[in-house]
């Protein structure tokens, strides 16, 4: 099974989208739409202080009648952030996501953000691993 570092390598260098906690929620939602992502990290300098997701927006802005233009993302972000290490496996990440009911996990190496994995990234990796294993079994049986 692949580890997080291998999944990040396969994703390519899309980078992590991050904003300061003072950023207006409207700006954050625009960034998510522009980059076709469901979450952004909230940083204070190089420190990860939160994560803002589409779910946070729906529950903490829309349902509470707040203004997207006037509300800083720091008021709606989820904190503390659940994160993983580059050496963690896809299975470990999926267990965390299932238990915590979350869809995105920042990846930290020595306290520094090095990437982000989503449930979609993990499912894709698991499917690719299973397809490779099936192909190897077919080849073994055929030989």
Confidence of residue 13 (pLDDT cuts 50, 70, 90): low
**What pLDDT is recorded for position 1?**
80
Do residues 57 and 73 touch, judged by C-beta distance below 8 A?
no
**CA triple 65-30-41, angle to 5 deg:** 90
Digit-coded pLDDT (tens) for 19-67: 999 999 999 999 999 999 999 999 999 999 999 999 999 999 999 999 9
Q: Are strands 18-20 and 39-44 parallel, antiparallel or unpaired?
A: parallel
In the sheet with 18-20, reading across from the earlier edge strand, the strands are 18-20, 39-44, 47-53
Number of domains the chain contains: 1
The first and second tokens of residue 91, run together, are 């299975």
Range of the domain at 55: 4-142
Polymer length in residues for the chain? 143
**What pLDDT is recorded for position 14?**
66
**Of all residues in the chain, what percent carry a pLDDT higher than 90?**
81
CATH code, domain carrying 128: 3.10.580.10
Residue 24: strand pairing partners: 72
């Amino acid at each position: 099974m692949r580890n997080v570092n291998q999944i990040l390598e396969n994703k390519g260098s899309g980078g992590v989208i991050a904003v300061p906690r003072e950023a207006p929620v409207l700006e954050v939602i625009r960034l998510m739409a522009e980059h076709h992502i469901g979450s952004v990290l909230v940083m204070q300098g190089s420190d990860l202080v939160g994560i803002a997701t589409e779910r946070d927006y729906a529950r903490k802005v829309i349902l509470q009648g707040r203004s997207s233009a006037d509300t800083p993302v720091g008021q709606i972000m989820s904190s503390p952030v659940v994160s993983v290490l580059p050496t963690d496996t896809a299975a470990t990440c999926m267990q965390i996501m299932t238990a915590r009911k979350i869809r995105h996990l920042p990846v930290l190496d020595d306290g520094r953000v090095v990437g982000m994995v989503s449930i979609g990234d993990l499912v894709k990796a698991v499917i690719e691993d299973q397809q490779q294993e099936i192909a190897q079994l077919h080849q073994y049986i055929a030989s």
